[in-house]
Structure 1
Amino acid sequence: MSADDIRRLGAFLHRRTGMIFGEAKRYYIERRIADRMAATGMRTFNAYFAHIEADGVEVEQLINLFTVNETYFYREEHQLSCLSRSLLPEIVQGRKPGDLVRIWSVPCSTGEEPYSIAIWLLENWPMVDAYNIEIVGSDIDTQVLLDAQAGDYGERALSRLPSDAVERYFEPVHEGHRRLIQDLRESVKFTSANLVDSASVAAQGRFDVIFCRNVLIYFDDSSRLLAVDNLYDSLHPGGYICLGHTESMTRISKRFDLRRFEDAIVYQRPGRDRDG
């Protein structure tokens, strides 16, 4: 691929996903484009690029190849502790038993993070059965959503889970993997969402807590601000967002309040909106 080819593809992916791909990632890009050109029978990059501009299905396949899906159960466990110890008790104040509480994991990758939320609440929040807890996992990568729904995991993904939790919530080992029990698989709803597409995000509705970890670091400033504005609109007033440990909302937007809890620092949408 020429330098111009890299720029054209990078601009295309940026428009579609908000993520940045340029000359510094040439080897990463060329390997993935070669795979898709072979799969589609395209002999030149120009032919392939014309193909993706005309074929929405191939765009989906291409985006799936360029997304980052590294995760495991109980990742950044301190935030889960903050969820059960601090965030949910605040959220349910004034709500009645049976009221809806919505939690969003985006991007959810292969499901470990939203399923972790479900397991953590069952294990650590005594009020879990008192409310209607809806957990939604969303991602731009359609293949990982299928994997998430299957709920089949290897040893590495489960390595941070307590062994007794693994025994309670997973089927016996089969061919080196364990499948999440059906009740847990059905406890999370999986949807497709693109953080830089306002309509896609708005379609998910509003949430009380959002886990959006380790994705904004892949965006440029303009895409990052767009994504954060979309996330802000996805929170109920007073709702919370948890970012990855290397990410800081205060560097992106002044619309959120920083909240320091015993277990974690999180960001809150104020009860009254502000600009910035």
Structure 2
Amino acid sequence: MTLTKQDANLKISTADFERFRDFFYRKTGIRFEDSKRYFVDKRLVERMRQTQASTFRDYFTHMRFQASGEELQQLINTMTVNETYFFRESHQFDCMVQELLDEIVKVQGKRELKIWSIPSSTGEEPYSIAIYLMERWPSIQHIDVELMSSDIDSAVINKAKAGLFSERSVQYLDKVLLKKYFTKREDGMYQACDDLRSCVHFSQVNLNDQLQMKRYRDIDLIFCRNVLIYFDDSSRRSAAESLYDTLAPGGFIFLGHSESMSRISSLFKIRKFHHALAYQKPSV
């Protein structure tokens, strides 16, 4: 196999990798360890080919100073991993509809609730929340719920809005729910119905961007699962503080099973429910 002149120049040196890693960390809060070097190099070279950059230096300069910021967003989309499925870690959804939301309504006397799923990925989590609310929370009949979902990756947000899922994504949905909320297409994909898609408002948010995070306030329940594990200690603390500020007094947050808020921040109170563990913002 003969390498072209461009291919020969599409190499990422150790200095290039470290320079990019520091830049990406400042922009997103995500730090790539040396063990991720192959993953990062492969995706950088992919973007260099797409933009026809002759060297890493040319690409890095173009990406950083492009007025539209389009290439930076493309790079973020490429570097972030999005893999999920419906009803993942369903014990937290059970906790939501059987214990947590009823407590918020009873204790705080609310008739309107805000729930936020971040990151949205391709939509499996927020749509799972919507199905649980409609199918398993009787109070939805007289409580208004605003369901929001956000991600740093613009491409997956568009996929989430489209509501098109593979068989793997819906494998844990029982047949009744699958038939009720989805239509199977000839290509084997499952299309979410309009009623389900209309339940969720999607937006693009960088969890590490404090200005963007200030748009979100008085949220009663946040699902922020399996994202803080990609941050270092400093970024985790910053993200925890931003999430704390978005919560209404007495609001709750769910993290992924391998994450612990108590190791990140002392702002939250640990609450042990029957089905799951949650972290609560004190009411006073």
TM value normalised by structure 1: 0.96
Report deviation, 1:236. Answer: 0.2
Aligned: 1:62 with 2:69: no
Cα drift, residue 206 of structure 1: 2.6
Deviation larger for 257-266 or 192-201: 192-201
Structure 2 equivalent of residue 36 of structure 1: 47
Partner residue in 2 for 1:271:
283
Return the alpha-carbon distance in structure 2 between the equivalents of residues 266 and 176 of structure 1: 37
Q: Which runs of 4+ in 1 moved over 4 A?
A: none
Which one of 25, 32, 42 corresponds to residue 21 of structure 1? 32
1:61 and 1:205 map into 2 onto residues whose CA distance is 28
Residue 4 of structure 2 is matched in structure 1 by none
Give 2:6's aligned residue: none
Counterpart for residue 270 of structure 2: 258
Matched length: 270
> RMSD of aligned C-alpha atoms?
1.0
- Give 1:157's aligned residue: 169
In 1: Cα distance, 2:227 partner to 2:61 partner: 28
Give the match for residue 17 of structure 2: 6
Residues 1:88 and 2:91 aligned together: no
SS of match in other structure, 2:258: coil
User: Which of 117, 130, 134 is the aligned partner of 2:146?
Assistant: 134
> What amino acid maps onto 2:31 in structure 1?
I
Gaps of 5+ in 2: 1-11
Gaps of 5+ in 1: none
What is the one-letter code of the residue matched to 2:168? Answer: R
Q: Check whether the contact 1:6–1:22 (CA below 8 A) recurs between aligned residues.
A: no
Contact 1:3/1:23 (8 A) holds in 2:
no
Q: How does 1:96-245 map to 2 (within 5 A)?
A: 99-245=111-257
The one-character-per-residue Cα deviations of 1:16-69 (angstroms, maximum 9, x if unpaired) are 111111432111011101111111110100000101111211000000011111
Name the % identity: 47
Q: Render the CA deviation track for 1:148-204: whole Å, top value 9, x for unaligned.
A: 000000100001111110000112333110110001101100001111111111113
For residues 261 and 186 of structure 2, the distance between their equivalents in structure 1, rounded to whole angstroms, comes to 42
8 Å contact kept, 2:229–2:259: yes
TM-score by length of 2: 0.93
Deviation string 1:94-145 (CA, Å, 9 cap, x unpaired) is 536xx32100000010000000000011111111121111110100000000
